[in-house]
Amino acid sequence: MDTVNSEPKPLSQPRWMTILGWVLTILPTLMFVGGGAYAAFNPQMMQEGMKENGWPSDVAPYLIAAEIICGLIYIFPKTSILGAILLTGYLGGAIATHVRIHDPKGAIAVVFGIVVWLGIYLREPRLRKILFWR
């Protein structure tokens, strides 16, 4: 018995969990990457959004880059947990921005945060093994 070169056995899960997990992963990824790209190519909308939320317009490129990069890190399986953590931070900033200006749209960021973690939780059995109940 050769235990040195043996690969760990992959954890199995129901197919529906994997499919639903990927659907719930792709939806916020499209929102982050697509929304960031749209904002990058529509400077008028970007300027209005920054002004509306009380942000100086010169930070917009950094926020857009963070949005796109975090979304891309989240979609790839090897970096998806890091991406979920980064998106949680990004969404925390969005929530704080909306709370500061008394805008109820901050609830949308909360919902997206839940969808981000639900998607990765459903598609990643290794994450389920270490989270919540054991």
At 26, give phi and psi (nearest 5°).
-70, -40
Measured CA to CA, the distance from residue 8 to residue 77 in angstroms comes to 17
Show Cβ contacts of residue 26 under 8 Å, excluding neighbours closer than 6 positions: 75, 119
- Residue range 95-124: average pLDDT? 94
CA gap 32, 81 in Å, rounded: 16
Q: Is residue 19 part of a domain?
A: yes
Both tokens assigned to 73: 């890190």
**Quick one: pLDDT at residue 8?**
59
The reply to whether 81 falls in a domain is yes
User: Is residue 10 domain-resident?
Assistant: no
Counting the structural domains of the chain, the total is 1
Contact assessment for residue 40 and residue 60, using Cβ atoms and an 8 Å cutoff: no
Residue 2 lies in a domain: no
Residue 3 located in a structural domain: no
Give the pLDDT of residue 41: 93
Is 1 inside a domain boundary?
no
Average pLDDT over residues 86-115: 95
CB 106, CB 57: distance < 8 Å: no
29 within some domain: yes
Phi first, then psi: what are they for 61, rounded to 5°?
-60, -35
- Evaluate whether residue 78 is within a structural domain: yes
Q: What is the pLDDT of residue 129?
A: 81
Range of the domain at 65: 15-130
With a cut of 80, say whether residue 133 has pLDDT above it: no
